[in-house]
Amino acid sequence: MQEPVAMTHILAISGSLRKASFNSGLVRAAEGLDLAGVTVAGRTLHGIPLYDADVEAATGIPAAVADLKAAIRAADGVLLVTPEYNNGIPGVFKNAVDWASRPASDIGAIFGGKPVALVGASLGGFGTILSQNHWLPVIRTLGMRPWFEGRLMVSRAGALFDADGNLTDDATRERLSGFVAGFAAFAAS
């Protein structure tokens, strides 16, 4: 009798709220990859309010944040699919991670040692290189385990996605597949 294949579960979080987001399109493309032993589950940041310590003190962690924290905790690895706004991390994405780090006593259980990788798509010629670099101090502070063996920055995304934000470029899909496979192997180790 053959042993069941262990599955590596990757959580891919889109850092954009836009309906036809290129980054959400990358998440959907990653979910659709046919990689042996790997599942990819996508999430958006919809429903996560702006962080407010007074709200946290009065009512606790919002349900959307609790769901995000549970998904991060359950994943073998987290793929941050980040846009780049004004040469940095989108505020909505950083806000979600700030919420997920509350209370501070949860940081180790949610993020500590969690494998993480960065990808992103943008209209410009440099992909999301600056946003990805800006994530590094946050990742370090949270105690995550970054994967540096691969890099994926999708530039000039307007020509690679359709009007609904779906990836249409086979070469980019192939690059994404190789990236996710490499990251999944790292997350499983």
Provide the pairing of β-strand 38-43 with 145-146.
unpaired
CB-count exposure of residue 27 (10 Å: 0-12, 13-18, 19+):
buried
**53 by DSSP, 3-state: which?**
helix
d(CA 59, CA 6): 39
d(CA 187, CA 150): 13
What local confidence, expressed as pLDDT, does residue 6 receive? 81
Q: What is the CA radius of gyration of the chain?
A: 16
Structure tokens at 11: 């959580």
Per residue in 125-177, pLDDT tens? 999 999 999 999 999 999 999 999 988 999 999 999 999 999 999 999 999 99
- Percent of the chain scored above 70 by pLDDT? 97
d(CA 58, CA 132): 34
Q: What is the mean pLDDT of residues 115-129?
A: 95
Which distant-in-sequence residues (6+ apart) come within 8 Å of 124 by Cβ? Answer: 84, 155, 156
Nearest to 80 by CA among 114, 33, 37: 114
Q: Is the pTM of this model over 0.75?
A: yes
**Domains of the chain: residue spans and CATH:** 8-188 (3.40.50.360)
What local confidence, expressed as pLDDT, does residue 155 receive? 96
